[in-house]
Structure 1
Amino acid sequence: AVSSTAVFVYLLVPTLILWYVYHRLSNSHLYELGNKLPGPPALPVLGNGLEFLGLSNHRIFQKLYSRSFEYESIARLWIGPRLFVFLTDPRDVELILGSTVHIDKSPEYRFFKPWLGNGLLISTGEKWRAHRKLIAPTFHLNVLKSFLDLFNANSRDVVEKMRKEGEKEFDCHDYMSECTVEILLETAMGVSKKTQDKSGFEYAM
């Protein structure tokens, strides 16, 4: 007698094969374009997924980040049937981020949430459009030009603070957060930058 497990396997295997064939045929254009991009060799079905098996979100982000710099200005990875394309040339990134049509974010953006929160880079759809419409006038080129001296002064201050760390390894996030808050206070509220010399990151938070 044939066991129920064997019957399940006999049914599952051809089903998976048929699904894979259907997926490849229906997404043949995606695979054709994806395989033209530089990237590490990918296994059938699994792609490059084994590299990330068992890793935390933080480690996945770190690994993806390091992988993206192994190639020129563009790289691709296959995680199962999903294609990931990494851009390191600012001009390419500008084209993507500047689009007002292709704004829907893929589910993988959740890996960036610990660093970026729910801001414009993460939000999508109507929420993105509403927030973008609100802040767009603030970032007009002429407005930004008027703050160049302020940006330069704060940039020099934060560089000098980091210089005091010497050659040891340190987390620059605290310094950049403080600098960002200082710039926001001065540009949006006209508050003096004297706070730069006070409580540091604790003040920024």
Structure 2
Amino acid sequence: MTTFQLPDLARPDAGTTLISEWIVDMRDRQDRAARALLGEWGELSARFHPEAFLRLSCFASADGRVLLSVAQWTSDEAHLAFVREHRAEMVNRIDREIPGIRRPGLVRYRLAHTVVPDNAGDDTTDVIVVARTESEPAPHAARWAEATADRLRAAPHPGMGTAHVFVSEDGAHGLLYAPVTQADGVAGARPYRLLGTVAGPEAGGDGAGPAGGGPAF
């Protein structure tokens, strides 16, 4: 199903949110890797209809170096079962086409806080900002998430839409995800633009769609 909007990260059926980066270094490689990733997941969703797969959204960093993937599944167990069978072959095909992609690893997140500013910006924007924390001991991430949510409630960034703050399953990582109409000036955050999404079979999905109404690459 072709979709042209940011994912709903507060949807109640999303038992897990999986966020990962692919470091590709150059804008041309970023575009090619995004096409390949969305194409592969669109085909997998159409062929195998994994009921636990809800949505994959692919974002490009503004500097052209990174792809950010945000995937929603009903559970970690269902995701792990699916990727054990299909991921290696999919990644091998992409790496043959675009060699040298670096993958630091996937983090499994749980939604901790949702912040809706009084004067929320336009949530139909295709730009988000992402900020992270990683630390030991693990409880620091939960404290960071609470403090971040409190700060956004008290003083939201101008043009910010509904923000979501996550803590990783292992408690060691925190992440802020917020749509914005003004990416400049969000301290410690990195801007990304939505390139496309793949909707799961629940939505009747059988493909990947570009963000916006026109070409995303």
Fold similarity call, TM over 0.5: no
- TM-score, normalised with respect to structure 1: 0.25
TM-score (normalizing by structure 2): 0.24
Larger of the two Rg values belongs to structure: 1
Q: Which has the higher helix share?
A: 1
Please identify which structure carries the higher strand content: 2
